[in-house]
Structures are given as structure tokens and as C-alpha cells.
Amino acid sequence: MDPSSLTHSLLSLFVLLVLSPPTTGQLDYKFYDSTCPNLTKIVRYGVWSAITNETRMAASILRLHFHDCFVNGCDGSILLDDTSSFTGEKNAGPNRNSARGFEVIDAIKANVENSCPSTVSCTDILTLAAREAVYLTGGPYWSLQLGRRDGTTASQSAANQQIPSPFEPLENITAKFTSKGLEMKDVVVLSGAHTIGFAKCSSFKPRLFNFNSTGKPDPSLGSSLLKDLQGTCPDQDSSDSNLAPLDPITTNKFDNVYYKNLVSSSGLLQSDQALMGDSNSAAMVNNYNKYPYLFARDFGQSMVKMGSIGVLTGKDGEIRKNCHVVN
């Protein structure tokens, strides 16, 4: 090979590796660098203004991303409205009157479409928004590979079956995580998201009055918190939609106080406090209580794992124009 053709081959290789957009079905850190350079700024601004209006929105967006990824992968399926051909996820048990933040994603999508039409998926927007939500409330920041494409269907029954319930045992929750390629460590780490946001009384009321059909409160619930919660959630159906903070100490700050609460028997959900009932998960809780930076690092790592569950890439799926409907 003469020098000029060698130079030429190296140049072609360079062009291939560096300049051409990824065509193989893979996520990429630079996926939108040339096609939507302002993407991160637009998403950050949208999440920032939503949180500035209502602090809780950070929590709601983070949870929306979780519920998207746990139902047939991160594919924006939770954002789809019901149609004549499928019943979507918005009215599934874990989401009905509970999942929120859709209008924030819509507003960001509108700004993104304005800047770079038909280029960025609703799924990537939701994934980025969840990261910004954590960062803007004082939590860690992590790098994200992008290029997720939007799914073309949604499933209410899959949402009912695959999203963990606060009333099932840790074993069952771990099994749901494992079936997504995650592990018990991710259950412990990602449950740390409950350091922000709120839960309805219906999500934990049996613990206050009739735990496990015993007619008594959950013995693993600290007594002063029990009194507070019984005040917020009187034993009648009309209190079902009242709200209690998941972390009453630093409700709007993404920190490791969630784990401190578990150590002092003050987890709100039965599934939260259950992390202290298994020696392996309890050891992790104790570590995250002691070492906030360890939690921050591990949370970012687990979010990256969760954000890559069952993603559609390459030519699969589509780039939705409107996050509510398939194109």
C-alpha cells in the first residue's frame, strides 16, 4: 500500500468513525450533537421552569421515567393516550390518578420540535428530563447515551403486571427488577428516589390501621411517624388521595436521608421499610446512610442501567411528533 492510499484509508476510517452518525442500532453519547445541539439546554430549561412552578414536579418526572422503562422497555409507551387499537398505561393501577408530569414533557417536546423537528424521541426527552430533575433538586448528574426511539404501542395489562407494588414483598419486587436485567442492588439504590416526592394515603394506609389483616398497625413503623400519618390519613376512604411526603425530613432535596429514615424505622411505604428486613439489602441501606457519595455514584449507575432497559434503536420504532400519539 503506497503512502497516499494509506492516508486515504486512514482518512476514510476517521470519517466513518467520527463524522458519520451512528447507523447501527446503538445508543451514543453524541447522538444528537449535530442534529439537535441545544437539546440538553432545552430539556434543562423545561424541567427547571416546571420545578420552579411546583417543586414536586422533579419527583413526578423521575417516576414517569421509571414507569416507562418497566413496561416493555424505555419506549415512551407511558406517554401514549388510549386508542381504538390499544388500552394504554395511563390508567393502569400504578398510574391512574398518580402518574403526573405529562404536560411538562409536552412543553419540552414542543420546544425541541421547534428547534429540531422530527429528530428527538419523546423517550430520550423523558430520560434526559429525569436526569435533570435529580440534578436540579441537589442529586447526582450522570452522562447519558441517547438514540432511544419511540414505541408504537402501549399496554395497560403489562403496566399492571410489571410495575412493582408497594404491598408486595421484597422478594417479588426484586424478581420484577431481575426480569428487567437489574438486580437487588438496583432495588435498594433506585428506591432512594423516594428521597423526593409524595405518596397518596392509599399507597400505605393498611400499614396504619390493619397491617397484613392483623387489625393493628405495622410493627416496623416508628410510633411518632405512625401518629403523624394517622392524622394525615384517617381510617376512611375519603382520605385515600391525601398526600404524605416520602421523605418528611428533606422532602424536596435529592439526598441520602431516605436511607436515614429506613434506619430509624421511618420508611413511608411498606416496600421501603422492607429493605431493612433482609440482611443483604439492610447492609446496603446502612452503607448509603453512612456514605452519601456512594449513594450518589451508585444512583447514577443504576439510572443508566434502568434507562437502557429494552430500548428501541436504529430503524426500530419511530420519532413521535406528538408524545401522546403514534405518528
Ligand X SMILES: *[C@@H]1O[C@H](CO)[C@@H](O)[C@H](O)[C@H]1NC(C)=O
Give residues in contact with ligand X (CB under 6 A): 37-38, 50, 53-54, 115-116, 168-169, 172, 212
The nearer residue to ligand X, 9 or 179, going by C-beta atoms, is 179
How would you label 297-317 residue by residue, b for 16+ Cβ within 10 Å and e otherwise? ebbbebbbbbbbbebbbeeeb
The nearer residue to ligand X, 220 or 301, going by C-beta atoms, is 220
Query: Mapping DSSP to helix (H, G, I), strand (E, B) and coil, where does residue 244 land?
Result: strand
3-state helix, strand, coil in the chain (%, to 5): 50, 5, 45
What would the grid cell of residue 163 be? 410495575
Least gap, CB of 78 to ligand HEM (angstroms) = 13
Least gap, CB of 214 to ligand X (angstroms) = 7
The nearer residue to ligand HEM, 152 or 239, going by C-beta atoms, is 239
* Known binding-site residue numbers for substrate: 164
Map the footprint of ligand HEM across residues 101-160, applying CB under 6 A. none
Q: Report the partner that residue 38 touches, choosing among ligand X, ligand HEM, none (CB closer than 5 to 8 A by kind).
A: ligand X
- Which residues 6+ apart lie within 8 Å of 189 measured at CB? 284, 288, 295, 298, 299, 301, 302
Contacting ligand HEM (CB under 6 A), which of 136, 196, 284, 326? 196
Contacting ligand HEM (CB under 6 A), which of 63, 149, 260, 320? 63
Q: Is 67 labeled as catalytic in the residue annotation?
A: yes
> Which amino acid is located at 14 in the chain?
F
Query: Mapping DSSP to helix (H, G, I), strand (E, B) and coil, where does residue 220 land?
Result: coil
- For residue 91, the tally of other CB atoms under 10 A from its CB is 15
What would the grid cell of residue 272 be? 421501603
Please name which of 24, 123, 31, 29 lies closest in space to residue 74, comparing C-alpha atoms.
123
The nearer residue to ligand HEM, 32 or 132, going by C-beta atoms, is 132
* Known binding-site residue numbers: 68, 71, 73, 75, 77, 89, 164, 194-195, 247, 250, 255
Residues that bind ligand HEM (CB under 6 A): 56, 59-60, 62-63, 66, 98, 100, 164-166, 173, 187, 190-191, 193-194, 196-200, 203, 246, 269, 271
Residues with a catalytic annotation lie at 67
